[in-house]
Amino acid sequence: MITEDSGARAPRIIRDHEVLGEAGLVSMVEVLETRCERRFRQMADQIPVVDLEAALGDNAPDGLLGAVRGAAERIGVIQVINHGVPDDLLADYSSRIGRVLSLPRADKARLASPGGHPYRGWRQWPDDFGRLELERYNVAQFDTPADARAAGVPAEYASLYQHPNVWPPDDRELRGVTFRYLDAARQLAGRVLGLYARALGIAAGAFALGALPHVRLTTNDYPAWSYPDTGSDEDKLLLLEHADDSAVTILSQEGDYQGLQVQLADGGWLPVPIVPGALQVFSGELLTRWTGGRLRAGRHRVVAGGTMTRRSTAVFCYPSLQTVVEPLAPFAPGSDGDYEPVLVWDHVRRRVEAYLADYGRPEQKAAWRDGKPYVADLSETSAGR
């Protein structure tokens, strides 16, 4: 930092360790505060906090739409306020799922999918040393194939729900609260896609989710990091880097540290600020396909934060299963990459096999093959025991 002394002397460099004195030198605290403010502004510039009501209003500021477009093109994530998801719904779900995830491990193990489905019920995720990286609770859009057909899912697609959701027997309200959460997030996804269309200057309904969009929910609990800390984020990843396969993902994050990080175009990583009342919206691979690569799928990861824990809930939103996603007319001529048309049903029905091929342990694959529950072993020193 540079300050001008009186007279014609050269500027003097003030070191961070100097303290406020008679000459008006800047204190170390103020230096650090200035740095934090500058870093926060940098994050806010790249991950804008968007007032959704204002952005979708009759007189949306050009600067706001430009910020949305820039973030969607460069990194694939924005934050939204005035998003329409009721605060009391978010709080009710968080309280109920927090109680479930705080149960003794033996009780949570009874909430694992009876058939070993990795996207139903409760499961833990240990690393190669048996240390808990996260635990999660998963919910599908419908409990059974019959429920899916009754809601309008074509019969040939209803098998997607043959593995039922698993609900805790001592909280009969959680099911209704969760489904209301799914519906509110689905509506928000449609509004954000309308915002992206507006920011790109194309028809408002260009990114149509259809009459019955496909959605699913995952809540992740991340433990405190009680193992040696090398100082490198790469050595304490709780969730590996990836981009979602959805059109958009609606995320709520709770915690005392900025463990969620998004990848920048240059390969670096930027923490996603915790903004009270805001929800995060990540672009997914289907939105990238829709725009012929114009809008980037947000690659993200989660890093441990010392003794602090965090929780996030993601609702993955897709167009209806019978939708074919391909570059829309405004983007098709200039699309760069392999963006062949894909039926959403084909895109999602192989998700389990693709996940197990990439990340599944031998015992997990065996449980899935044999239709048995899978509960991972943890080391004696794991935070999850």
Query: What is the model's pLDDT at position 29?
Result: 39
CA 284 to chain centre: 10
Q: How many CB atoms lie within 10 A of CB 278?
A: 21
Contact partners, residue 169, CB within 8 Å, separation at least 6: none
Instruction: Quickly state the pLDDT bin for 258 (edges 50, 70, 90).
Output: confident
Determine which of 6-20, 120-134, 135-149, 223-237 has the lowest per-residue pLDDT on average. 6-20
Tell the residue number behind the tokens 């991972």, with chain if given.
376
pLDDT tens for 74-106 read: 999 999 999 999 999 999 999 999 999 999 999
Contact partners, residue 228, CB within 8 Å, separation at least 6: none
Q: Are 374 and 359 in contact (CB under 8 A)?
A: no
Query: What is the model's pLDDT at position 226?
Result: 78
**CA triple 66-68-73, angle to 5 deg:** 95
Instruction: Quickly state the pLDDT bin for 278 (edges 50, 70, 90).
Output: very high
Full DSSP string of 260-285: EEEE-TTS-EEE----TT-EEEEE-H
The pLDDT > 90 percentage for the chain reads: 69
Q: How many CB atoms lie within 10 A of CB 145?
A: 18
Amino acid at 73: E
Q: Are 233 and 300 in contact (CB under 8 A)?
A: no
- Six token digits for residue 266: 């240059």
- Six token digits for residue 9: 């002397």
pLDDT tens for 3-54 read: 333 333 333 333 333 343 444 434 433 444 455 455 545 555 789 999 999 9
Report the DSSP beta bridge partners of residue 77: 282
Average pLDDT, the chain: 87
| DSSP state letter for 27 | P
CA 98 to chain centre: 18
- Six token digits for residue 192: 């954000």
Q: Are 165 and 141 in contact (CB under 8 A)?
A: no
| DSSP state letter for 161 | G
User: Cα(365)–Cα(117) distance, rounded to whole angstroms?
Assistant: 10
